[in-house]
Chain A
Amino acid sequence: DGGITQSPKYLFRKEGQNVTLSCEQNLNHDAMYWYRQDPGQGLRLIYYSQIVNDFQKGDIAEGYSVSREKKESFPLTVTSAQKNPTAFYLCASRGGGIPGELFFGEGSRLTVL
């Protein structure tokens, strides 16, 4: 089935460690996104990519990094510079043209111990 796969679903990290969250899509979508969700807040955009080998910072990019070497993959690295990394991370993708509907993966929950 076509869709977006995020892994791992749950991840625990010690302070000072970098972690990488995986996002893979087989929808042949050009655009991919990473959002962060915290209790009581709306989703906030971390990074997005409209095409391979190109990506743009979102509203809260500090402490995060991404790469887009393949159309299907958009991994997110949470670095030790991110001060409050504990959150629910959501990956999304969007096809081109109309209607431009956004589809989401199941999310990855990161907990810093």
Chain B
Amino acid sequence: KQEVTQIPAALSVPEGENLVLNCSFTDSAIYNLQWFRQDPGKGLTSLLLIQSSQREQTSGRLNASLDKSSGRSTLYIAASQPGDSATYLCAPRGGGSEKLVFGKGTKLTVNP
């Protein structure tokens, strides 16, 4: 059974800092991995999706990497802004499975 861990559970940084969010998963036989952002009381917004054959994906100030063999993914946020404050979740999708398994998320606070 896939288990997903996100460390740290919460992170508070000053504006402008570069930061890394970590995601680890126990079953490396994944099809892809998706990173989401969730604002309080809202649904999830897709940020990046990495296919199992890829090493990284970039979108603006966000860069996600995937090391499938070690069961790890990282989300790098450059030059953080207060508007980046949210909970970030990762979700690997198992090969041949319809199920994404979600981590509990990292709650990020960027202070002005």
- Residues of chain A touching chain B, judged by Cβ–Cβ distance below 8 Å, are 4, 6, 31, 33, 35, 40-43, 45, 48, 50, 56, 58-59, 88, 90, 92, 98-107, 109
In the complex, chain B residues whose CB is within 8 Å of the CB of A42 = 4, 89, 101-105
- Residues on B with beta carbons closer than 8 Å to the beta carbon of A92: 44
Q: Which residues of B contact A106 (CB under 8 A)?
A: 42-43
Q: B-side binding surface: helix, strand, loop or mixed?
A: strand
Q: Are B43 and A102 in contact (CB under 8 A)?
A: no
User: Number of A-B pairs whose CB atoms are under 8 Å?
Assistant: 58
Say yes or no for B68: interface residue by CB 8 A criterion. Answer: no
Main secondary structure of the interface of A (DSSP, over half): strand
Q: Of A48, A98, A105, which one neighbours B43 at CB under 8 angstroms?
A: A105
Note all chain B residues with C-beta closer than 8 A to A101: 34, 46, 49
> Count the B residues whose beta carbon is within 8 Å of the partner chain — how many?
24
Most chain A CB within 10 A, of B91, B98, B102, is at B98
Partner pick for B102 among A6, A43, A100, A109, CB 8 A cutoff: A43
Q: Is the CB of B99 within 8 A of A45?
A: yes
